[in-house]
Chains A and B, each alone.
Chain A
Amino acid sequence: MDFDFTDDQDSLRDAVRRWVDKGYDFERRRGIVQRGGFSREAWSELAELGLLGLAVPEASGGMGFGAVEAMVVMEELGRGIVVEPYAAVALVAAPLLAASAAPEATRWLKDIADGSAIVVLAHQERAARYRIAHVETVATRDSAGQWLVSGTKSIVPAGDHAGAYVVPARVSGGPDDPAGIALFLVERGAGVTTRGYPTQDGACAAEVTFDRASAVELFPAGEGHAALEAAIGRGIAAVSAEAVGVMDKLVAATIEYMNTRKQFGVAIGTFQALRHRLADVKMQLELARSMSYFATLKLGEPPAQRRRALSQAKVQLGQSMRFVGQQCIQMHGGIGVTDEYIGSHYFKRLTMIELNCGDTMHHLGEVSARMQDTAGVFA
């Protein structure tokens, strides 16, 4: 048992932190948000740092790193509330492509790693909420045997900027049947239309409609749901780590504010009501950090244990994010509810992360459904 980082992981963290601190400050971020929530230049810088190929196998031009490295990077990007869809591309879509036997996947992996292409998982549907087995988008074969995908996917991260999508589509069964789900790679082109929009936290997303769009099968029915579920699991670990970084920075800003802001002639950090609230905030932050580690370190477990662990983690993260976010805004007073102040943007990001990969209520239901007689870190 060991929760230390290796020297290489520390170096990776330092490199990302340097880029965030110097290259992605609040003013630059504000500009990116105003121009639509995605910057090609920033994306290229992430590629130059090698980060886009973090989970891409070395044979495909990546670094072939593991879950702990992904966690380290996400914590640091969280500290800067980076809006570019790093996790969606590098930590969710790339491993899906890497795990596929389809030859086309390799070519896209190379392009992901060098930053020339964006590929994202487009799985959300209007009626699905957080049930990943609910897929109404369909895939059929034409007379030549070519797969064609039809349906609409919602809130696809940077959907306007993507060159291709990983799309769960139904080849058989009813709308909630996991066995009938296959995963396809669909290039943006004929039969694909997008409608982009900004998101609440300054990033961008799109509604993506597929109308008999040509598709390559990445995972056939029978394997698609398991691959999708594993990808969402990596997403949970990624956003959990991101949330820890977001909270770290927000709590630090709050502590600084409590020591400088004066009311009634003294620093507000002298008031016991606020001091105790701060202790509660720290508690939630450390519980969240503990469960972020837990999520990352459980990614390699068999599916049943992994799913239970990830849901447990997301419940803790959800509770922590809401408490830390709300209370840090509260302790700032009026300045906390302005757009001008950076803290409000951290709060908005925390709020949106809860709605990503399943909210607290959803995962509490999952934990509840998966409870065993014994529980614990090693259960």
Chain B
Amino acid sequence: MDLNFTADELAFRAEIRAWVAANLPKEISHKVHNALRLTRDDLQTWARILGRKGWHGFAWPKQFGGPGWNSTQRHLFEEECALAGAPRIVPFGPVMVAPVIMAFGTPEQQQRFLPGIRSGDVWWSQGYSEPGAGSDLASVKTRAVRQGNKYIVNGQKAWTTLGQYGEWIFCLVRTSTEGKPQTGISFLLIDMKSPGVTVRPVRLLDGEPEVNEVFFDDVEVPAENLVGEENKGWTYAKYLLAHERTGIADVNRSKRELERVKRIAKAEGVYDDPRFREEVARLEVDVVALEMMVLRVLAAEKSGKQPLDIAGLLKIRGSEIQQRYTELMLLAAGPFAVPFIHEAMEAGWQGDYVGAAHCAPLAGSYFNMRKTTIYGGSNEVQRGIVAQSLLGV
């Protein structure tokens, strides 16, 4: 047993740190550190900077132009990016669809789609959930009917994060209604500029248009855009969800935001109030414990000596912690979290803040983070999965 990273890993960390410090634009990290509004340009600028270095697909194997890092190196990369105030890599392209294309796509699909994801040039969206298929994802109804060398797609996807920027969307579509719901699903790549695709932003409770409804009305999709075999899409969807084991805990971002909790609490004069301070102390323990759990999973992957069946816990705990830090920041600002000044979320806004600039985004962040225990398989679904593996039934 050894808690420390190896000398090589520490050197790797230093290299990443230096590179991020030299390449992450200050105006972007300023927004991230202060929870200000990020634009499409901000996100894509960072994606392209990473892309030029070959790190946008930071989890990719060398074979597909990735850096070929192991799980510990990936963790260190994500940590350095998070602590430096880099935006989260929009996962739909490099983290979600790319591994599926690598594992199950044809060589033609790989040559066609992977370079644009690797470079950060092509924006991908996720077409999984539907109005009637949330936690029960297997009940997707969007139909794809094969006609010659194309599919005709009809239906609606929901909760498509940042879909308003999307150029391509990977979709779970129903190609058969026979057998179990899971067996009639296919994995289809759809050009969002196709006639019949309509994207309608949905404003979330914080006032931001973060998710979308995507409608498909007789959309023609070339059959060559089917990934893998027809009706095997559920297998690929599960592969996708299992691919990122520790990233979803987002413990690195939580470490950064815990620092922000303390900064705001100091500025608001509650850091020395023992009642508030003990809540921060509790959160600090929660973050350290989660980080230890993440490190255990990473170490187990690296050694391969004994399987560690706790990855399912990471999403639950990580999301609870994300909610908690936004809650504490809200409470730290107290009454000064009340004003809703939409423009105050813009970097460089010259208007009059109420209280202090750092108060402006806090309620919105708290509202927004309610999503974390709902998306990616609600925490109730996750608990069901954990219980099933423990009870065996």
Task: Give chain A's interface residues, CB within 8 Å of chain B.
Answer: 1-5, 68, 255, 258-259, 267, 269-270, 272, 275-276, 278-280, 282-283, 286-287, 290-291, 293-294, 296-298, 312, 315-316, 364-365, 367-368, 371, 373-377
Cα–Cα distance between A4 and B299 once the two chains are bound (Å): 8
- Tell me if B's interface is mostly helix, strand, loop or mixed: helix
The residue from A267, A315, A376 contacting B287, defined by CB atoms under 8 A apart: A376
B300-324 to A contact mask, C-beta < 8 Å, 1/0: 1011011000100100110000000
The residue from B6, B284, B290, B383 contacting A279, defined by CB atoms under 8 A apart: B383
Of the stretches B147-155, B187-195, B254-262, the one at the interface is B254-262
Closest to A275 in B: B387
In the complex, which residues 1-19 of chain B have their Cβ closer than 8 Å to any Cβ of chain A?
1-6, 9
Residues of A within 8 A of B288 (CB): 291, 294, 312, 316, 375-377
Contact A259 B295 (CB under 8 A): no
Contact B259 A290 (CB under 8 A): no
Residues of B within 8 A of A316 (CB): 285, 288-289
Cα–Cα distance between A316 and B285 once the two chains are bound (Å): 7
Cα–Cα distance between A294 and B44 once the two chains are bound (Å): 39
Residues of A within 8 A of B287 (CB): 375-376
Residues of B within 8 A of A275 (CB): 383-384, 387-388, 391
Contact A272 B384 (CB under 8 A): yes
B52-81 to A contact mask, C-beta < 8 Å, 1/0: 000000000000000000001000000000
The residue from A259, A312, A367 contacting B393, defined by CB atoms under 8 A apart: A259
Residues of B within 8 A of A298 (CB): 3
Of the stretches B134-142, B160-168, B223-231, B274-282, the one at the interface is B274-282
Cα–Cα distance between A280 and B380 once the two chains are bound (Å): 11
Contact B1 A2 (CB under 8 A): yes
If the complex has contacts A1-B299, A278-B390, A364-B282, are A371 and B306 also in contact, measured as CB distance less than 8 A? Answer: no
Contact A297 B305 (CB under 8 A): no
Residue B245 is within 8 A (CB to CB) of chain A in the complex: no
Cα–Cα distance between A154 and B313 once the two chains are bound (Å): 41
The residue from A4, A269, A287, A376 contacting B391, defined by CB atoms under 8 A apart: A269
Contact A4 B306 (CB under 8 A): yes
The residue from A282, A291, A297, A376 contacting B390, defined by CB atoms under 8 A apart: A282
Residue B298 is within 8 A (CB to CB) of chain A in the complex: yes
- Tell me if A's interface is mostly helix, strand, loop or mixed: helix
Residue B386 is within 8 A (CB to CB) of chain A in the complex: yes
Instruction: Quote the shortest CB–CB distance from A358 to chain B (angstroms).
Output: 14
Residue B370 is within 8 A (CB to CB) of chain A in the complex: no
Residues of B within 8 A of A297 (CB): 1-3
Cα–Cα distance between A255 and B280 once the two chains are bound (Å): 34
23 contacts between A and B (CB under 8 A): A1-B4, A1-B6, A1-B298, A3-B1, A3-B300, A4-B1, A4-B299, A4-B305, A259-B391, A269-B391, A276-B383, A279-B384, A282-B390, A283-B316, A290-B289, A293-B3, A294-B289, A315-B282, A365-B278, A368-B277, A371-B280, A375-B284, A377-B292
Instruction: Quote the shortest CB–CB distance from B275 to chain A (angstroms).
Output: 10
Instruction: Quote the shortest CB–CB distance from B82 to chain A (angstroms).
Output: 11
Contact B259 A1 (CB under 8 A): no
If the complex has contacts A1-B299, A258-B391, are A373 and B262 also in contact, measured as CB distance less than 8 A? Answer: yes
Residues of A within 8 A of B1 (CB): 2-5, 68, 293, 296-297
The winner among B259, B287, B386 for most chain A CB atoms within 10 A is B386
Residue B291 is within 8 A (CB to CB) of chain A in the complex: yes
Residues of A within 8 A of B393 (CB): 259, 267, 269-270
Cα–Cα distance between A283 and B293 once the two chains are bound (Å): 10
Closest to B386 in A: A279
Residue B392 is within 8 A (CB to CB) of chain A in the complex: yes
15 more contacts with CB within 8 A, not counting A2-B302, A283-B386, are: A1-B295, A2-B1, A255-B390, A275-B384, A275-B388, A276-B380, A276-B387, A278-B387, A282-B386, A291-B292, A297-B2, A297-B3, A315-B281, A365-B278, A371-B280
Residues of A within 8 A of B278 (CB): 364-365, 368
